[in-house]
Amino acid sequence: MEPAAPPVRVSFQLKVLLPVLAALILLPAITLWIVNDTVSSQMLGEANNSLSAASKVLEQLLELRSRDLLSRFRSAANESSYRSLAPLVNESEASARETIRKFLNERIEAYGEDCEALLLVAQSGANPAVARRGTAFTADEFVRATAALTALARQGEPASGALNLNGHSYLVAAVPVAIQENGTPVGALVAATRLGESALQELKLITVADIVLLDNGTVTAATIRQSQLPADLLASIGNGSKEPRMLAQYLALADSYEASSPTGGFNYVLLSSFEKRLAELARTRATLVTVSFVGIVLSGLFVWFFIRRVTQPLLVLRDNAEAVGRGDFTRRITEFSNDECGAVAVAFNDMTSNLQASRADLEKAVGTLKTTQAQLIQSEKLSAVGQFVAGVAHELNNPLTSVIGFSELLEATSTEPKQRDQINHIYRNAIRCHKIVHSLLGFSRQHEPERKLVRLHEVAEAVLEIVAYDMRVNNVTLVREYASDLPPLLGDSHQLQQVVLNIVSNARQALESFRRDGQITLRTGTNAEGDRVWLRIIDNGPGISPENLKKIFDPFFTTKPQGKGTGLGLSLSYGIVQEHRGSIRAESQPGVGTEFILEFPVTTPSNSKPPLFRPDSKPPLPIKHPSLHLLVVDDEESILRLVQEILASEGHRVETAGSGEAALERILQGDYDVIVSDWKMPGLNGINLYHELQTRKPDAARRMLFMTGDVIKDSFQQFLKQHGRSCLPKPFALREFHLAVSGIMKSSH
């Protein structure tokens, strides 16, 4: 019997080497898999969260646009211009429809390029009139698409929604028009704005995601080219799921906006590119594989000499990898050998540093997005308040005109000193109201930057007219210390008023919670050389700490509670002062108060010097004219009565007309020495009346004098300059009115 063959012997070295080699192979592989899986999952999770947040932000932005559209046209539908169409809405004649369409075409141009279509329909749903921009859809298609919203508006309920129409997506709003005394409207106004590529690009900047709008499986608009869209985009979103899914190199989230609204809404897809992230992950994987392979080879060669040294770093690497797998990206390997394991540790540290930096950048981006969203909401609120203030101020000018004019007439005819004093008191307070209204009108409207000669105390006084009441009710005393004959500077008065208002408002808010006897001092003067003027705004408030004083002009820096301040007021003020080649600085002592110093270079006019600030100055006496035959045109009965009283008391023969149409009929039938007409009237306004007379009776057109209670816009200013006409702003004093009439008489002879 042959002896059994001896078993194969495995040397101890091999026994040690094989497990070590196996471990060296297995551990990096496991580490790579854990890191890859963890990073991929986390990257996908963060992208999912980011895309879901972007979807919510997009919905909120679309909702803001929809509410803004509804609010905008709810106010517009109650304007007198729309009310004047009430008698025509229910008429079915072609002439009535054509008149309404012409009016809507004018309004759609006035509303700007963001208004795509306007529809005015009678309460019964009949006689629709449509004005549209372009040929994307027909009038009948628009009427049918908005029928549900129109029905709500005809019931007196404003409504908004979204819809797809002929391959385009729109936001629409429907509001009742010309509500009668019994609470029922005479019709409904429907407005639509298009969500095109430019609008989507604006939304993309905020959502930080590409946006694709869909209509029945067809792309209507997108922020990326059609060729860049994933091939399976349309097929993958047809299952109705709203969960994010991977499409090629994109993460896609499909949803719908206002799908339950009467108009059906539209579908959209948000795309977040994964191309760069996948490339970075692949490079990291390749680096880890390469380093691991080199470590395994070298460790196998020197395993007998460095087995303990090699094992320990691997254990450290494993522990830190597990910490990273749990989401702790702050872990670093601080002690490692100067070999392949050390190279793995360095690569690991670089990887965790990159991951930590990426997460920090993502958190910063989310914070910036939230800040931007809050600023957008605040900007919309301020814009709405500004429009409201401007509208109220304009409506006050007409009654102020009557108060000022009739008080002057009463003062001129009264013989009792006490009664004259009382009438003069009414006149002075009406003038004060006029100054406040004028300041509000100027400050609440947006202006193009302009450079004119202005004086610092005039800028300060314009601001104090606005804040006087607020200061008085908060027990804050305003002290004026203006230098006499202060040289002018070249600047934009509206921008400089904004700077002064920001500083004064901040001072008032600081004083409100600090003391009950606050004081704000505004002081002007010039430097020793006389080439610079300065304005100092000093308060006795709590002051600013030294560490905060260094940062007060930084954007978004504020010490106010959440929701009380944006941190942009002083930053914007600093930029405005710099644009005027000036300087602004602050000095403060905690517990004593704060002083802001504004300095600007003096501008010396070459030919003339601007008049000094004299708010109470009166125009010179007008030249007396013999008895004239005048026509006064205004839709305000009180203005007609005032002007008639003024002119009739001087022996003039005065006729009045409450509309442009009535005035045109009288002018064509008779001759008038002067025609005084309001600029803005329902129906045939002052400008249209002038054009009619220019064509049919040019001599009468040359005798026209305009008046208005609104701020004279650039278009109207250009009209006056082009035709050599003048305009009398309301409210006006009697002397101003006489001077304006005298000017018309001179120019017409």
Asked if residue 270 is part of any domain, the answer here is yes
> CA distances (Å), 456 to each of 108, 151, 236, 477, 598, in order?
41, 56, 65, 20, 10
**Residues 354 and 463 both lie in one domain:** no
Residue 432 has pLDDT above 70, yes or no: no
Tell whether 385 and 482 lie within a shared domain.
no
Number of domains in the chain: 4
Is pTM beyond 0.75 here? no
Per-residue pLDDT at 447 exceeds 60: no
* Nearest CA among 27, 660, 699, 624 for reference residue 314: 27
The type of residue at 694 is: Q
Q: Is the pLDDT of residue 616 over 50?
A: no
The 3-state DSSP class for residue 140 equals: helix
What does pLDDT average to over the chain?
77
- Label residue 384 by pLDDT band (50, 70, 90): low
Q: Is residue 440 part of a domain?
A: yes
Residues 595 and 653 in one domain: no
Hey, what are 6's tokens?
A: 């001896």
- 644: domain CATH number? 3.40.50.2300
Q: Is residue 513 part of a domain?
A: yes
Domain at 104, CATH number? 3.30.450.20
Could you tell me which residue, 105 or 232, shows the higher pLDDT?
Answer: 105
- Structural contact between residues 212 and 222, judged by C-beta atoms closer than 8 angstroms: yes
C-alpha–C-alpha distance, residues 707 and 439, integer Å: 19
**Which pLDDT band, with edges at 50, 70 and 90, does 537 fall under?**
very high
Q: Is the pLDDT of residue 608 over 50?
A: no
**CA atoms of 620 and 614, how far apart (whole Å):** 14
Domain assignment present for 26? no
AA letter at 643: V
Instruction: Kindly tell me if the per-residue pLDDT of 457 is higher than 50.
Output: yes
pLDDT of 675 > 80? The answer is: yes
Domain identity same for 89 and 61:
yes
201 and 279: one domain?
A: yes
Question: For residue 430, what are its two tokens?
Answer: 């009406």
In a shared domain, residues 651 and 704: yes
Residue range 641-666: mean pLDDT, rounded? 84
User: Does residue 518 lie within any of the structural domains?
Assistant: yes
- pLDDT in the model for residue 128: 85
Q: What is the mean pLDDT of residues 273-293?
A: 76
Decide if pLDDT at 193 tops 80: yes
Q: Examine the domain organization and report whether 124 and 252 are in the same domain.
A: yes
pLDDT of residue 379: 53
* pLDDT greater than 60 at residue 692: yes
Task: Judge if 46 and 173 occupy the same domain.
Answer: yes
Q: 187 lies in a domain?
A: yes
Domain termination site, one of 397, 425, 446: 446
Instruction: Indicate the pLDDT class of residue 305, thresholds 50, 70 and 90.
Output: low
pLDDT digits (tens, 9 = 90+) for 494-521: 889 889 988 998 899 889 888 888 999 9
Q: In the predicted model, is pLDDT for residue 109 greater than 50?
A: yes
Task: Choose between 381 and 412: higher pLDDT.
Answer: 412
More confident residue, 544 or 317: 544
> Are 288 and 364 in a shared domain?
no
Residue 14 within any structural domain of the chain? no
596 and 536 Cβ atoms separated by less than 8 Å = yes
Question: 215-242: per-residue pLDDT in tens?
Answer: 777 788 888 887 777 766 666 565 555 6
Model confidence at 1: pLDDT above 50? no
- 387, 417, 446 - which closes a domain: 446
Report pLDDT for 611. Answer: 37
Residue 13 in domain: no
pLDDT tens figures, 459-471: 999 888 878 888 8
Return the pLDDT at 202: 82
Q: Could you tell me if 240 and 341 lie in one domain?
A: no
- 133 and 268 fall within a common domain: yes
pLDDT by residue (tens digit) across 696-732? 998 888 888 888 876 566 677 788 888 888 888 877 7
Contact present, 163 and 263 (Cβ < 8 Å): yes
More confident residue, 480 or 167: 480
For residue 536, what is the domain's CATH number? Answer: 3.30.565.10
pLDDT tens-place string over residues 252-266: 878 888 766 777 777
Which pLDDT value is given to residue 381? 55
Final residue of a structural domain among 446, 472, 493: 446
**What values do phi and psi take at 39, rounded to 5?**
-65, -40
Range of the domain at 124: 42-294
Measured CA to CA in angstroms, residue 101 lies from 107, 129, 187, 194, 298 at distances of 10, 6, 15, 20, 86
The number of helices, as runs of H, and strands, as runs of E, in the chain is 22, 22
pLDDT in tens, 348-374: 777 888 877 877 777 777 776 766 665
Q: What percent of the chain has pLDDT over 90?
A: 7
Banded model confidence at residue 314, pLDDT cuts 50, 70, 90 = low
The label of the residue with tokens 């278009």 reads: 715
- pLDDT score of 319 more than 70: yes
Question: What is the DSSP code string of 73-131?
Answer: HHHHHTSHHHHTTHHHHT--SHHHHHHHHHHHHHHHHHH-TT--EEEEEETTS-S-EEE
Q: Are residues 186 and 237 in the same domain?
A: yes
